[in-house]
Structure 1
Amino acid sequence: MSAGDVVGIVANGALPYEFDAITREAVPVGDYVVVRTADGSEVLGMVEGTTINSEIMEVARNFSDASEAGELALRNPRDKSYSSHVRVLGLLDGLRSGEVRMPSLPPVPGSTMRRATPEELSAAFGGPDRRWFPIGSLLRSPSVRVHVDVNRVASRHLAILASTGAGKSNMLALIAKAIAGLRGTMVIFDYHGEYAGLDLGGRGRPVMPVVNPRHLDPDELADLLEIREGAGKQRHVLEEALSGARDARDFWGSLREGVEGQEDDREYREPARRVADIIESALRRFGSVLDPDSPPPLRLLAEGYVNVVNLSELSPRQADVVISRYMEEVLADRKRSRSGEPGVLRKPVVLALEEAHVFIPGGREDRTKTRETAARIAREGRKFGVSLVIVSQRPQRLDQDVLSQMGSLAVGRLLNQRDRSFVQDSSEFLTEEMTGYLPDLNPGEAILVGQWVKLPAMVKVDRVEEKLVGMDVDAVGEWSSWGGPSEDTDEFIRR
C-alpha cells in the first residue's frame, strides 16, 4: 500500500494527543499517518504499537484446538483484525513550516487514517538552515532524510544509549563530523582510542592526556599514581611530600626527597618506601601523563577543532582524574568568557564522554570526580555555553540526575529490561510504547527524541565508513588473508 492511501479508521476514545485505529492491515511501528481532527485540521501521528487478533483463535485452549483454529484462521481473511495505537505529533501545517503545534481537538471516530507522503515527512524532518545536519533516514520511509539541530546538542545536552555493538560510537562520530564542519569546538574523551582515524576534514586534533601534578590535590595525584584508596598511610606520606614539592624547580626530585624523609618515622617507614616504589613505577609506565612543566589543560585544546583526548592507556581511576580536570577547567574558562573576562575558549564547547556509566555512576558508594563536575555542567552548563554528550551501554548505572537533564536522546537497541525502565523513568521524552520497541531495533537503528529533533523518529543512522575501531572484527576474513589453499571446515574437524 502506497503513501497517502487509507490504512485505517479512527476508533472510539480518541484524544487530542493519541488515538487507536482499526486498520486494513498490520501497520509497522514507526510508520507516520495523517488524520483530520474534529475541526478539519490535519495532524501527523506516529504508530507506536500494532496488534493482530484472530476471533477463531480466541476459543483455542490446547495445542490441538490451536492447530485446527490456525488452519481455519489462515483460510478466512475476515477472521483477522488489525489495530494500531498512534501518538499525535502535531498539526501538519505547523510542521511544514518548522513549528510544532498540538491540536486542541481529537480526530472524530470513524474518520479515515492515511499514510503520510514522503513530501509531508521531508518537510517535517528536513533542515531549514545550516544548524541542522542529516543523521540518517526514516526507518519506514528510507527516502526521507532526518535532520537534527546542532544548536540543541551544543546547549541542551545529549545522551546516546545503546547496547554494545548497536552503533553508539558511530552516532558520536557523525556528530563530531558535523561540528567539525561548522568549525565548532568539541572535546571527546576517548577511553578506547576509537576516534583517532576519524576524517574530520583537517579539523581534528589529537590530545595527549597530560596533567601537571603541581596543580593536583593529594587524592588526585594518589589516584593517578594508583595508590589504593584504602592505603591511608601511603596517601598521608604523599600528601606531606607534595606540600613541599609544588613550587620546587625539580618537582619529582623534591617529591622523592619528601617521601624518603619520612622513612625516619617508624610508623611511616614502610608506607614511605612503598610510595617511593610506586612513584618510580608510575613514571616508567606513564610518566608522559604527569608532566610538571606542562601548561594547563586548556592550553592543549584548540578552539574550532574536535579535540580527541586519548585515554586508552589509563586506568579508570586515572582517566577519572584527567576527565574531571579538563571538564572543570573548560567550565571555569567559559564562565570567565561569559562574564567578559579574558578566556581561552571564546565559543561554546561540546564535551563528549564515552563509557559514561564508569565516570558518572549512580551509586552512592561509587562517587567519582567526573560525576560531580558532570552534574554541575548538566545543571548550569547551558548558561555558559558548555554542553555534555554522554555515551553508555549500561544506562541503569548512570547517575539519574545527570541523565534526567539530557535535553535530547538517541536510544538504540537495549536488551536489558532494567536499562530500558531506567531510561524511561529518567526521561520525559520516551513513551512506554517506544521503550518497549527498543529490543527489536537492529544495529545502526535508533529512536531519536527530545529537543534536537522536531519530532520523535525511528532512524536508520548513516554509517561513518572510516570509523573502524569499535566495530566487530572479521576474524575469518583476516585469517584468510594469509593466502594459500583453505580447507573445508567440516572435513578438517572430522579428522
Structure 2
Amino acid sequence: MSAPTLLGHVGAVAGATINVRQFEGTASGIAIIGGRSYRIGQVGSFVRIPQGYHDLYGIISDVGATATPETLVDSGARGDRWIKVQLVGEVLEATFERGISQYPAINDQVHLVVEEDLARIYGTADTGQVTIGRLSGAESIPVRIDLDKLVTRHSAVLGSTGAGKSTTVTSLLRSLSVGQGDHSSFPNARVLLMDIHGEYGRALGEVAKVFRVNPLENEERLYVPYWALDLDDLLTFLLGKTEEKALTAIQDRILREKTAVLAQMNYPGVDANSLTAGSPLPFSLKSLWLHLIDPEIKTWVENTQQNSAQTAPGDAETLTAPTYPLPGQGNTSPFANKTNVLSIRRQLEQLRSRLLDRQYDFMLHPGPWEPSLDGVTQSDLPQLLESWLGHDRPITVLDLSGVPSSILMRLIGGILNIIYEALFWSREMPEGGRARPLLVVMEEAHRYLGRDDANLARDAVQRIVKEGRKFGLGAMIVSQRPSEIDETILSQCGTFFSLRLSNSSDRSKVQAALPDSLSGIVDSLPVLRTGEAVITGEAAKLPVRCRITLPEEGKRPTSEDPHVAQNWSKERSNENYVNVTAAWRSQNPRWKEE
C-alpha cells in the first residue's frame, strides 16, 4: 500500500529540472493527511524526494501536458499526468541547505510536502532570522528571512497599485524593530525611510522619529541644509543655465566665503589647503547674491571707474540690491561698470526668487543650520546626522510629501549623498555602517530611478547598491513599476518580495532579475491575494509564497483606497473651498487657518 503523501515517480532528470509521472492513485485534487487537507500538484508548492539518509526538495513549476518530458512529446506516453519540478535544496539530518549534493534516479518516489516537512525547512529560529508572516499553504508555519542578507545584499518590494506594498513595508520594518511571534526585537536597528506620499508617519509612530516639512504633533521639522548638498546640482537649481566662465567665478567666490568661515570657526577634519568649493561647509547665499549683483548693476561717476555712483547701499539680509543711477548715453556720466561683470542678472534674479519662495525654506533657510551673513551656523553636520541616525528609535521617516515636485529628485539625491558620504568615511567608527548598519528604504522608487533619468538620486542609489555592502549600507527598493527602474539597480537586489503584478512587462522584469528562475512561480504573480508575496533570493531559505503579517488597525499606512460607496451615501455637508485653495497654495494637505 502506498504512502498517503505519494505524488508520483521520477520520469526524467535534466539538471535541476525533473519530470514526475503522477501516481494513478492521486486522482482527487485534494488529499487528507493527518487531519489536514492538501491541494495536489499546485504550482509553487513543494515536493520531497527521499534519498536514503537525506531528502531532496523541489518546487512545482509546471503541471499537465506542458510538463511532459521533451522526448515523450510525440509519443503515446504524452498525457496530462506529468509534473515539472525545480530542485532547490536538501535536508541533511535536520538542517536544510540550498543546493543539492546528488540527483534523484528514475522511478524514485516523489512525495507531497506536509506541514511536518515544512517545519524542518522553516522551523529553525536561528540568530538573525526575522519572522515576517506565515506560509500561504500552511498558516501554522512561520516564514523567516535572514536579516544579514536582507540588508547587505539589498532587496526590492514590488507590486501593482493596491497589492499591499505599503502595508508589507510597514510590517517588515515593524518586524525589524519590535519583532513578531517568538522572535526578539533589534533595539539597535537603524532604518531610514524616504516617504514620498506621507503614508508612514502614523503607521510607524511609536517606533519611528518622523521628519516633515509641515510637522504634526510629535514630529520634527525637516531641514536639509543647502550647503551640505552637491554644489553643481545646487547651483543649477538656484541659477538655471549659466555659462562655464560665470560658474567658475561663482564657485571661486563660494570658496573664498568658506575659507573665511574656516578661519573663524573650528571644523574638525578640515584642512585649509585641501578645501574646495564643494566641501560641506556653510556659506551664506544672501551674501553671495549681494556680492554678485553689485558689479552687474554698478555705475561710476567718471569713465576712469574710480568713484562709485551708488546712491543707496544694498542689504543682504533683506535681499535688497544697492541703488545706482542708470548708465548715461554715449560718453555721458554715469558710466557702466566693466570690472568683474559676469552677465548673470537673470540668474541672480532667479536666485533671489528662490530665496524668497517660502516653499523652499526647509532647504534654503534650514533653521539652526542656516548660515548668518558671515557664514556661521548654530548647528553643524554632526547635529544633522545625529538627528537622523543617532536618536533612540530604530526607524527614521523622512516625509517628503510637502517637498515641491520641482526639487524632489534633487533633494532625494542630496539626502542619499549625505548619508552615503557620512557612513563611507566613518566605516571604521562605532557610529559607522560596519558597527551599526543602515537600511535605506526608498518608496515610489520608479519616480526617480528610471533608466533614462540622469539625476543625482539615481547616481546615489547606484553607488549604494554597488558598494554599500562593504560599509554597512543596504537598500530596499519599493515600486509598482519595476519595468521603469534602472536595470543596474534592480539587478543588484538579492531578495525580492513580489506582490501581485498585473503588467506582463513588470513580471518579465522580475523574472529576469530573480536569483531562482522559476517561471511557474512568476506566473502566479497576477493572482496573489492582497498582502501575499512570493519571496525569493538570498534572504529566503527557499522561494516561498507568504501571507505577510498585517499590522493592527491604526498602525497601517494611510494608503488604503477611499470608501466610495460609504462616502457617497452620506448627506451633503457644507464645504469650504477657500480651505482647498489654501492647502494647495501652502503645499500642505493639513492646512489650518491660524
Scaled by the length of structure 1, what TM-score is found?
A: 0.80
Greater radius of gyration (CA): 2
Distance 2:252 2:407 in 1: 21
- Superposition pairs of residues 90-489 of structure 1, within 5 angstroms: 90-93=89-92, 96-109=94-107, 111-181=108-178, 182-183=186-187, 184-199=189-204, 202-208=206-212, 209-222=222-235, 236=247, 251-258=284-291, 260-261=293-294, 263-264=296-297, 267-281=343-357, 284-290=358-364, 291=366, 292=370, 293=377, 295-296=380-381, 297-303=384-390, 305-316=394-405, 318-340=407-429, 346-363=435-452, 366-465=453-552, 466-480=555-569
> How far did residue 263 of structure 1 move?
4.1
Asked if structure 1 preserves the Cα contact closer than 8 Å seen for 2:162 and 2:530, the reply is: yes
Q: Which moved more, 1:453-462 or 1:211-220?
A: 211-220
Distance 2:198 2:360 in 1: 16
The CA deviation string for residues 442-479 of structure 1, in whole angstroms up to 9 with x for no partner, is: 32121101111111101122212321411212132244
Question: Which SS does the other structure have where 1:5 is aligned?
Answer: coil
The CA deviation string for residues 61-93 of structure 1, in whole angstroms up to 9 with x for no partner, is: xxxxxxxxxxxxxxxxxx983332212222234
Q: Does 1:45 align with 2:58?
A: yes
Structure 1, unpaired ranges of 5+: 54-78, 485-495
Distance 1:318 1:242 in 2: 22
Distance 1:131 1:329 in 2: 28
Identity between Structure 1 and Structure 2 (%): 23
CA distance 1:232–1:461, change in 2 (3 Å): farther
Question: Which SS does the other structure have where 2:106 is aligned?
Answer: coil
Asked if structure 2 preserves the Cα contact closer than 8 Å seen for 1:47 and 1:86, the reply is: yes
Distance 1:205 1:42 in 2: 47
Whichever residue aligns with residue 420 of structure 1, its letter is R
Distance 2:445 2:89 in 1: 34
CA distance 1:444–1:261, change in 2 (3 Å): same
Asked if structure 1 preserves the Cα contact closer than 8 Å seen for 2:434 and 2:472, the reply is: no
Whichever residue aligns with residue 185 of structure 1, its letter is R
Distance 2:404 2:242 in 1: 18
Whichever residue aligns with residue 12 of structure 1, its letter is G
CA distance 1:241–1:334, change in 2 (3 Å): closer
Asked if structure 1 preserves the Cα contact closer than 8 Å seen for 2:21 and 2:83, the reply is: yes
Structure 2, unpaired ranges of 5+: 30-39, 67-77, 179-185, 213-221, 262-281, 298-340, 371-376, 574-594
Extract structure 1 runs of 4+ deviating beyond 4 A. Answer: 222-225, 230-233, 235-250, 340-346, 479-484
Whichever residue aligns with residue 417 of structure 2, its letter is E
Question: Which SS does the other structure have where 1:113 is aligned?
Answer: strand
CA distance 1:438–1:301, change in 2 (3 Å): same
Whichever residue aligns with residue 401 of structure 1, its letter is T
Q: Does 1:34 align with 2:42?
A: no
Distance 2:565 2:253 in 1: 54
- Superposition pairs of residues 1-12 of structure 1, within 5 angstroms: 5-6=4-5, 8-12=7-11
Question: Which SS does the other structure have where 2:97 is aligned?
Answer: coil
Distance 1:429 1:262 in 2: 64
> How far did residue 340 of structure 1 move?
4.5
Whichever residue aligns with residue 275 of structure 1, its letter is L
Aligned to 2:317: none
> How far did residue 199 of structure 1 move?
3.8
Distance 1:330 1:336 in 2: 10
Q: Which moved more, 1:323-332 or 1:236-245?
A: 236-245
CA distance 1:256–1:451, change in 2 (3 Å): same
Q: Which has the higher helix share?
A: 1
Question: Which SS does the other structure have where 1:260 is aligned?
Answer: helix
The count of corresponding residues between Structure 1 and Structure 2 is 446
Distance 2:524 2:135 in 1: 16
Aligned to 1:59: none
Aligned to 1:73: none
Whichever residue aligns with residue 64 of structure 2, its letter is T
Question: Which SS does the other structure have where 1:92 is aligned?
Answer: strand
Distance 2:567 2:151 in 1: 40
Distance 1:217 1:17 in 2: 49
Distance 2:53 2:507 in 1: 38
Question: Which SS does the other structure have where 1:301 is aligned?
Answer: helix
> How far did residue 169 of structure 1 move?
1.6
> How far did residue 45 of structure 1 move?
1.8
> How far did residue 320 of structure 1 move?
2.8
Q: Which moved more, 1:447-456 or 1:472-481?
A: 472-481
Scaled by the length of structure 2, what TM-score is found?
A: 0.67
Q: Which moved more, 1:396-405 or 1:327-336?
A: 327-336
Distance 2:428 2:231 in 1: 31
